[in-house]
Amino acid sequence: MFYALAAGKVTIPGARVDHVLEPIETLNRRARAAELEVTAVSAATYALVADRYRLLDAGASMGEGYGPVLVAREPLPVAALPERVVAIPGSHTTAALLLRMYLPDEPPLIEVPFDQIPRVVLEGQADVGLLIHEGQLTHPTLGLVTVLDLGKAWFRDTGLPLPLGVNVVRRDLGEAVHRAVAEALRASIAWARAHADEALEHALAFGRGIDRETCRRFVAMYVNRWTESLGEVGRAALARLYAEAHRRGLLPAVPPLDPI
């Protein structure tokens, strides 16, 4: 999504782009302090920072029938999960919010960097791991089995794509900057889709050892039609996520959906 902006192939008039690469939970925490002007955040975190950040229409990561998965060393019944230690990639991730929605009897949780969760489960430091990013695809090769696919469960229950990540711009920057950032992000995504091999080469450097075809498959899963624009379906998916989480007492309020 961001390669063309980071490489200067797409620019924002009057602005310099510094590309900050950090795990999503780190970005979630920085957003809660409003440190960055423009940032990716978990969809769950947007609900907590909507007073300071505005949603960008472009750049969302949504999965249709797929998403975070709970994995273990051996098959486990879902009913046993509240008694097992679960490694999560951060308490402000959408994956963690979904876990609380689908397991109201919350299990013991430990926070672990997302890319270390498979190792933590394999070594027995946790019984179950909540996987995001490419771990959704690669965990069978490590000998881990799926216990609960939260993406499938969400699609079964709602018929909507699952909003996992969104991009936001700080509200205090004003409408003109909001529009300039939104246009540049949409142009960056379009550039990457038109020059997929070059953009993929850039993304592969951050793939934590995965091969090119796995990287291509993963990118195709989450850079899709809702990435270019939320549209009615994307906005409905976000509204459903926030309404359900609020109804269950997991979010203090439903945030505004005023994407630019």
Q: State the catalytic residues.
A: 133
Structure tokens at 191: 């550039």
- The residue count for the chain: 260
Reduced to 3 states (helix: H, G, I; strand: E, B; else coil), residue 71 is strand
DSSP 237: H
Closest CA to 42 of 64, 60, 20, 54: 60
Going from the C-alpha of 33 to that of each of 26, 53, 154, the distances in angstroms are 11, 11, 30
Q: How far is CA 36 from each of CA 40, 94, 164, 172, 195, rounded to the nearest angstrom?
A: 10, 20, 20, 12, 28
Is 209 within 8 Å of 45 (Cβ atoms)? Answer: no
For the record, the structure tokens of 176 come out as: 């003109």
CA–CA dist 179, 103 (Å, integer): 39
